[in-house]
Amino acid sequence: MTDLDQLKTDALTRIENAPDAAALEALRIEFLGKQGSISGLMKTLGGMSPEERQVQGPLLNGLRTETADAIAARKEVLENTELEARLAGESIDLTLPAPEVPRGSVHPVSQVMDEIAEIFADLGFAVATGPEIEDDWHNFTALNMSETHPARAEMDTFYFPDRDAEDHRMLLRTHTSPVQIRTMKAASANGGEPVRIIAPGRVYRSDSDATHTPMFHQVEGLAIDRDIHLGHLKWTLETFFKALFERDDIVLRLRPSYFPFTEPSVEFDVGYSNEGGRRVVGGHGDAEGHDWMELGGSGMVNPRVLEFAGFDPNEWQGFAFGLGIDRLTMLKYGMNDLRAFFDGDGRWLSHYGFSPFDQPTLSGGVGARA
């Protein structure tokens, strides 16, 4: 065997056995790099006689090509092996069960707020909002409660120490009624236009026991037009409760009452019965085994309030109502402790909460029932 044959056998064997890309690269440098052994032999061609070069030239060229081809072939094998190993390691077993991801739930109060907005949207009411940090002008004065009005004291109010730029006392709104004022002012600024809004949201009163919490939820309703009367209010409330409780036998009782911002004022109750310790809405409250539950206050918007908000009371009238959403939620979903709503207990929420992907929808909607 010539030296050349020996070199070739040696090179091809080592290339064939190179364990990885780095070892293969080292061999390429060793044989074919600038200082490589085969490159060195190629350089000797220049010093040979033409006869010798004619013999050695093809041999050396052949050796160089074969070595380069062997390196390329080995490189491909190594790359394929590496790819296969990676694919095997990264394979996904689609039959494995998906890992459990803890999922939140929709709070019953949020659920009922959505249902309320849905029903009133069917009746043509838009949703309006207002700030929870209010000034006493919007919360009281514009609602016909002057500085000295006794009704101010009835709503135990959380006040801030500061006053705003117009020297109004700042407070946490005690009801959603200031949204009436803000909405009417915006509508009267355009020269006066009909209004139909509901305003759901948080309200605050410094008061806490089994049926009262310092923060609770109300929804305000307001309809202003040129020919609104108490009959519209009664129909609207009745239609709303029938849709919310998904029952046609809802009986509403309106009782004369007093709110400074409505005249006349009425409180409204719904009839319910007690079934197995659970209140079930429906039927006449005076019937055997039945009673009435107060759900909110309402009335025709006091002409003074219309004036405060920029409407001419000789031309415009309206009705307004405000009801407690938390009590409504208790009635609809059969719960009996208001305070549990705000404890943030995960077990309570997973029991009473609603899946964000599978919420109950109102069967039929208002159109089907009206």
Q: Give the CB-nearest residue to ligand FA5.
A: 324
Least distance between ligand FA5 and beta carbon 363 (Å): 25
- Pairing between β-strand 252-259 and β-strand 126-127 as defined by DSSP bridges: unpaired
Measured from the Cβ of residue 24, the count of other Cβ atoms closer than 10 Å reads 19
What residues have CB less than 8 Å from 4, skipping those under 6 apart?
41, 59, 60, 63
**Residue 144 or 262 with smaller CB distance to ligand FA5:** 262
Pick the closer one to ligand FA5 by CB: 201 or 296.
Answer: 296
Tell me how far apart the alpha carbons of residues 168 and 52 are, in angstroms, rounded to a whole number: 111
| SS3 call for 200 | strand
Q: Is 99 helix (H, G, I), strand (E, B) or coil?
A: coil
**Closer CB to ligand FA5, residue 200 or residue 299?**
299
User: Among 188, 189, 139, which residue's Cα sits nearest to residue 168?
Assistant: 139
Nearest-approach distance from CB 356 to ligand FA5, in angstroms: 26
Q: Which is nearer to ligand FA5, 200 or 322 (CB)?
A: 322
Contact 204, 176 (CB under 8 A): no
**From the CB of 239, what's the least distance to ligand FA5, in Å?**
18
In angstroms, give the least distance from the CB of 156 to ligand FA5. 9
Q: How far is the CB of 325 from ligand FA5 (least distance, A)?
A: 8
Would you call 6 helix, strand, or coil by DSSP? helix
Residues that bind ligand FA5 (CB under 6 A): 175, 177, 205, 207, 212-213, 216, 218, 220, 259, 262, 294-299, 320-324, 326-327
Which of 2, 75, 71, 79 has the alpha carbon at shortest distance from 31?
Answer: 71
Residue 264 Cβ vs ligand FA5, minimum distance, rounded to whole Å: 11
β-bridge pairing 317-324 and 133-135: unpaired
Q: Smaller CB distance to ligand FA5: residue 212 or 232?
A: 212
Nearer to ligand FA5 (CB atom), residue 33 or residue 342: 342
Question: Of 196, 198, 123, which is closest to residue 366 (Cα–Cα)?
Answer: 123
> How is residue 150 written in tokens?
């006794």
- Cβ proximity to ligand FA5: between 201 and 324 the closer is 324
Task: State the Cα angle at 214 between 209 and 220, rounded to 5°.
Answer: 115
Tell the smallest beta-carbon distance from residue 357 to ligand FA5 (Å): 30
